[in-house]
Amino acid sequence: MRLLEFIDAVIDEAAFRSIVSYIEEAKASSDYEVLCGGRYDAEKGFFIQPRWFSANAPVQADQEEIFGPVATVYVYPDDEYEETLRVCDSTTPTA
């Protein structure tokens, strides 16, 4: 493992396992396309390479704080701007 490929380790094994579960779920789903990154290694610390996904539709991961180097990008059609705002407003948890 070359540590320079990673930004930093996540805080602990529980966080590592949680973040890896999002990565593995996205890799197995047809709703996502991997854009880059996402390798991980727990050999010497809990390292996760930053990962970017493109989503074909709004997805569950967009509604949750992952607290790790994983981001999802959803590119909406221009003519669905207002509907996309409604989806964001109705799926984001409130305090």
Domain extent listing, the chain:
3-91
Q: Give the domain 3-91 fold.
A: Aldehyde Dehydrogenase; Chain A, domain 2 (3.40.309)
Given a cut of 60, is residue 2 above it in pLDDT? no
Rounded percentage of the chain residues whose pLDDT exceeds 90: 19
Given a cut of 80, is residue 44 above it in pLDDT? yes
Q: How confident is the model at residue 56 (pLDDT cuts 50, 70, 90)?
A: confident
Question: Is the Cβ–Cβ distance between 30 and 42 less than 8 Å?
Answer: no
DSSP 9: B
pLDDT, the chain, mean: 82
Q: What is the pLDDT of residue 3?
A: 45
CA distance 94 to 9: 30
Q: What is the pLDDT of residue 36?
A: 87
Q: What is the pLDDT of residue 73?
A: 84
